[in-house]
Amino acid sequence: MERVERILNGDVRAAARLIRDIDDGVASCRDVLKVLYPHTGKAYVIGISGFPGVGKSTLVDQMIHAYRAAGKTLGVVAVDPTSPFSGGAILGDRVRMQRHGTDPGVFIRSLATRGHFGGLSRSTHGVIDVMDAMGKDVVLVETVGVGQDEVDIVTTAHTTIIALIPGMGDDIQAIKAGILEVADIFVINKADREGLEKTVNDLKTMLDMNRQRAENNSWRPPIVPTIALHGHGVRELMSEIDRHRAFLFGQGAKHLKAHLRAKALRELKDMVVEMVAGRIIRGLEESGRVEAVLDDLVEKRTDPFTLCDKIVKDGIRTYFRGDS
């Protein structure tokens, strides 16, 4: 396919179009991604997540700057399901990244996928693969929040960074289980704010208590204070990323293998969900019967369990006839 050739040669317009189609859930993307797949796996993928207001975009901007200074090319995926902008064209108010807008070594896209099954993480996998196949050295993935979706997304990265700010003591308690499991590096941004020491100590205590992690994995997540706005701590962050990368390709090789398998399993699951459940539900939606079905449910003339059985049965007969 000419399209594939162009993407493999790093053509920005071809890649941007494919990414927009992925975000829009266009079915034909599947064939292109399938051909691109053997060309993926070369980029180093870094995920960064955290609640709004911790300064993720500024951190990402500094990381882009540092990698560019080292001669590396980058793909950047900003995943923001709450963004009003669709289709990867607009980065919203991420103004600080605009200074890289004219740098051909940086390719920035924003995803807004909503409502598909496994849609957000499925799309993100696809977009990372496109940037990887384009030949980018590093792919940065930025997500907002620390929910299950975001965790699923950032853990597809080789190195997962969780960004916090000082004074989140109680809040860390609330989210500790999730973030302790996934973080390879903690950044405490806005480190000049009150409460840095307490936040660092709270994190350390939690890491100490998390024995299970220590047993499964000899990597202990470092805690890096930064003031990204002024570039403080960015060198330390980059050096910790390098250290983690060296770990993965050295003594952590077993860990890397487990990571790649977990990533492959998640990707496969998302794909099965999208393929089979997605097709059945789109079929229902296109059948024109949805309104009547919903009325039956709301009026309790039927129950969703009985209905689900029927929809699945009909759907399989209709959409997977040749397969069964």
Binders of a second copy in range 235-294 (CB under 8 A): 257, 260-261, 264-265, 267-269, 271-273, 275-277, 280-281, 290, 293-294
Interaction between residue 33 and a second copy (CB under 8 A): yes
Q: At what angle do helices 304-319 and 290-298 cross, to 10 degrees?
A: 160
Q: Which of 87, 135, 147, 195 binds a second copy (CB under 8 A)?
A: 147
Q: In what order do the strands lie in the sheet with 185-188?
A: 106-111, 74-79, 138-144, 44-50, 159-164, 185-188, 223-225
Note whether 10 binds a second copy by CB under 8 A. Answer: no
d(C-alpha 240, C-alpha 224), whole Å = 8
- C-beta closer to a second copy: residue 57 or 62: 57
* Cβ closest to a second copy, residue 13 vs residue 300: 300
Map the footprint of a second copy across residues 164-193, applying CB under 8 A. Answer: 168, 170-171, 173-179
Q: Which amino acid is at 254?
A: K
Report which residue type is found at 309. Answer: D
By CB under 8 A, the residues from 84 to 123 that bind a second copy are 84, 93, 114, 117-118, 120
What is the distance between the alpha carbons of residues 225 and 195, in angstroms, rounded to a whole number? 12
Nearer to a second copy, 71 or 305 (CB): 305
Q: Please enumerate in sequence order all residues whose Cβ is within 8 A of that of 278, keeping only pairs 6 or more positions apart, or say none.
A: 116, 117
Of the two residues 122 and 240, which places its CB atom closer to a second copy in the complex? 122
| Cβ nearer to a second copy, comparing 104 with 286 | 286
Q: Under the criterion CB under 8 A, does residue 8 sit at the interface with a second copy?
A: no
Closest CA to 175 of 194, 151, 198, 156: 151
